[in-house]
Amino acid sequence: MENNTTRYGLLGDARRLGEILSVANKYKVTQGLTPDKVYHMFKDLGTAFIKLGQLLSLHPEVLPKEYCKALENLRNDAPTITTAQIREIVSEEYGKPWHHVFSKVVAIPVGSASIAQVHDAYLLDGTRVAIKVQRPDSYQMMEQDVRMLKKALNVLKIPQLKNILWLINNALDETWRVAQEELNFVQEAENLERLAKILEPMEFAHVPAVYKDLTTRNVLVMEYIDGYEITDHEGLIAAGYDLSEICQKLIRSYIKQWAEDLFFQADPHSGNIRIRDGQIVWLDLGMMGHLTEREAESLHHCMHAIWKNDVAEFTEWALILCGQPGDHPCRESLQQDYIAFLDKYRVQSIKEMNETGDVFVDMINIMAKYGAEFPLSLTMYGRSLLVMEGTVSNLDEKTDLTDILGRHLAAYAIGDGPAGKIARKLSHNRLCSGSRLHYNEYQAKEEVPKDSELLSEEEYRILSETGAKVWSPENE
Looking at this protein, which amino acid is placed at residue 239?
A: A
The pLDDT, as a whole number, for residue 126 is 96
Chain-centre distance for alpha carbon 320 = 23
Looking at this protein, which amino acid is placed at residue 227?
A: G
Q: What is the mean pLDDT of residues 396-407?
A: 81
**CA nearest 419: which of 456, 461, 471, 454?**
461
Is residue 219 within 8 A of residue 184, CB to CB? The reply is no
Distance CA 310, CA 338 (A): 10
pTM confidence score:
0.86
Distance CA 349, CA 362 (A): 20
Condensed to tens digits (0 to 9), the pLDDT of residues 261-309 reads 999 999 898 989 999 999 999 999 998 999 998 888 888 778 777 767 7
pLDDT-above-70 percentage for the chain = 91
Q: What is the mean pLDDT of residues 344-373?
A: 64
Distance CA 50, CA 40 (A): 10
Confidence of residue 352 (pLDDT cuts 50, 70, 90): very low
The pLDDT, as a whole number, for residue 348 is 40
Distance CA 141, CA 145 (A): 6
Q: What is the mean pLDDT of residues 26-41?
A: 91
Condensed to tens digits (0 to 9), the pLDDT of residues 306-327 reads 767 788 888 888 888 777 766 6
Is residue 372 within 8 A of residue 325, CB to CB? The reply is no
At 222, is the secondary structure helix, strand, or coil?
A: strand
Is residue 71 within 8 A of residue 50, CB to CB? The reply is no
Tell me the torsion sign for CA atoms 456, 459, 465, 471. negative
Q: What is the mean pLDDT of residues 452-471?
A: 79
Residue 1 has pLDDT above 50, yes or no: no
